[in-house]
């Protein structure tokens, strides 16, 4: 399973990248706004820091506008993945971009029907938003199971990129379903390390070691 970090906060990405766990980064207009940074500068800095795919989202709503913005975003770095919304224009742009060799992440996916369209359009990634489905009382992870089942029936190259992740359980469930990628907010990734019995056990080991008066070095 690949871990992408879901943020445009360069400092957060740098810190997590040092753990050796970051396989890519996803951003969106809201995350860019939250960062307070110029989009092109932030994406360039992130692409220089992370080898894997870095998703940069278009903001045009028509296909030709998306393609014009995609050309500018692709010029920033070789590892830019273009993010387009799951709309008719987004799917049209996805097809044109993937035919031109670009990596495309189709975002704001909330149904299996939408996911089939993205795969047909040659998307490199599909981003179903599980947290936002949970927010309205639907079961976001059941959509992931459905998409993984459907994609497994065909030779679709599109990777399932679980997005809108709100807890470590979303990551665990995504892994159990065989999703290719989870894009994880920094806070959730940090939560994945935590267990009280680990902390308690380590404290006990170190207390007992202290009593020996020994040093490994």
User: Applying CB under 6 A, does 163 fall inside the site for ligand G3P?
Assistant: yes
Contact present, 163 and 126 (Cβ < 8 Å): no
Closest CA to 96 of 127, 63, 125: 63
By CB under 6 A, name the one of 132, 146, 190, 192 that touches ligand G3P.
Answer: 132
Size of the site for ligand G3P (CB under 6 A): 10
Which residues in the 172-191 window bind ligand G3P by CB under 6 A? Answer: 183
By CB under 6 A, name the one of 125, 129, 151, 156 that touches ligand G3P.
Answer: 129
Closest CA to 49 of 75, 81, 11: 11
Q: How many CB atoms lie within 10 A of CB 81?
A: 25
Rounded Cα gap, residues 165 and 176, in angstroms:
15
Q: Minimum distance between the CB of residue 198 and ligand G3P, rounded to whole angstroms?
A: 27
Residues, the chain = 217
User: Applying CB under 6 A, does 131 fall inside the site for ligand G3P?
Assistant: yes
Q: Minimum distance between the CB of residue 120 and ligand G3P, rounded to whole angstroms?
A: 22
Q: Which stretch binds ligand G3P (CB under 6 A): 58-66, 118-126, 127-135, 195-203?
A: 127-135
- Catalytic hit among 44, 72, 83, 95: 83
User: Applying CB under 6 A, does 156 fall inside the site for ligand G3P?
Assistant: no
83 part of the active site? yes
User: Applying CB under 6 A, does 105 fall inside the site for ligand G3P?
Assistant: no
- The H or E element spanning position 4 is strand 2-6
Q: What angle do CA 72, 129, 147 make, to 5 degrees?
A: 100
Q: Which stretch binds ligand G3P (CB under 6 A): 15-23, 24-32, 173-181, 196-204?
A: 24-32
What per-residue string of b and e applies to 179-199 under the rule 16 or more CB within 10 Å gives b? bbbbbbbbebbeeeeeeeeee
Closer to ligand G3P at the Cβ: 89 or 163?
Answer: 163
Contact present, 51 and 25 (Cβ < 8 Å): no
Residue numbers of the site for ligand G3P (CB under 6 A)? 6, 26, 28, 31, 129, 131-132, 163-164, 183
* Residues that are catalytic: 83
């Amino acid at each position: 399973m690949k871990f992408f970090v879901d943020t445009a906060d360069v400092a957060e990405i740098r810190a997590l990248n040092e753990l050796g766990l970051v396989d890519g980064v996803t951003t969106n207009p809201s995350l860019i706004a939250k960062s307070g940074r110029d989009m092109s500068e932030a994406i360039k800095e992130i692409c220089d820091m992370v080898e894997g795919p870095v998703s940069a989202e278009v903001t045009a709503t028509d296909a030709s506008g998306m393609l014009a913005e995609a050309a500018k975003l692709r010029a920033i770095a070789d590892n830019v993945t273009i993010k387009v919304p799951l709309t008719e224009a987004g799917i049209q742009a996805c097809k044109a971009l993937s035919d031109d060799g670009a990596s495309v992440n189709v975002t704001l996916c909330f149904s299996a029907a939408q996911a089939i369209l993205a795969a047909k359009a040659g998307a490199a990634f599909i981003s179903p938003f599980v947290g936002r489905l949970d927010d309205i009382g639907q079961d976001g992870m059941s959509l992931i199971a459905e998409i993984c089942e459907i994609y497994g029936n065909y030779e679709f190259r599109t990777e399932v990129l679980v997005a809108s992740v709100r807890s470590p359980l979303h990551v665990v469930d995504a892994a159990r379903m065989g999703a290719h990628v989870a894009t994880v907010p920094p806070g959730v990734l940090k939560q994945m390390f935590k267990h009280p019995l680990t902390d308690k056990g380590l404290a006990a080991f170190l207390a007992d070691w202290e009593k020996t008066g020994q040093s490994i070095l």
